[in-house]
Amino acid sequence: KAGVTQTPRYLIKTRGQQVTLSCSPISGHRSVSWYQQTPGQGLQFLFEYFSETQRNKGNFPGRFSGRQFSNSRSEMNVSTLELGDSALYLCASSLGFLAGTDTQYFGPGTRLTVL
């Protein structure tokens, strides 16, 4: 079974631009979560989508948004890029169970550099 895929793997943007990152979950998984990883703050949760609805949200400004499509694929968008948005953006998918364990599996990440 194919793992979580993320595109693009690397991206360079300039301040003020916007960017869209894509994530394809493991087949059959309905939940997609996004995380940001920086050297200073470590791995931080951005948001989770399940059945096209945002189910959980971390403490990030409104410039960070996401959506999920009916096939469970997800995109995240960052508008008005700042230098501090340079990070590894990780997507994780899971079955999305509301009870019991629900293991998240991560993709390889998208490395975003803002100049």
Partner 1 sequence: DAKTTQPPSMDCAEGRAANLPCNHSTISGNEYVYWYRQIHSQGPQYIIHGLKNNETNEMASLIITEDRKSSTLILPHATLRDTAVYYCIVRRDGGSQGNLIFGKGTKLSVKP
Residues of this chain that interact with partner 1 (CB under 8 A) are: 4, 31, 33, 35, 42-45, 48, 50, 55-56, 58, 88, 90, 92, 94-109, 111
In the complex, the smallest distance separating the C-beta of residue 58 from partner 1, rounded to whole angstroms, is 7
Determine how many CB atoms are found less than 10 A away from the CB of residue 97: 11
CB of 22 to partner 1, least distance (A): 15
The answer to whether 59 and 45 are in contact (CB under 8 A) is no
Of 47 and 85, the one with the shorter C-beta distance to partner 1 is: 47
d(C-alpha 60, C-alpha 38), whole Å: 14
Of 81 and 91, which has the nearer Cβ to partner 1? 91
Report CA torsion sign: 78, 8, 67, 91.
Answer: negative
**Least distance between partner 1 and beta carbon 8 (Å):** 15
What are the beta bridge partners of residue 44? 36
- The smaller minimum CB distance to partner 1, of residues 34 and 78, is found at 34
In the complex, least distance from residue 50 CB atom to partner 1, rounded to whole angstroms: 7
- Whole-angstrom distance, CA of residue 48 vs CA of residue 80: 22
Nearer to partner 1, 81 or 93 (CB): 93
Closest C-alpha to 44, from 7, 8, 89: 89
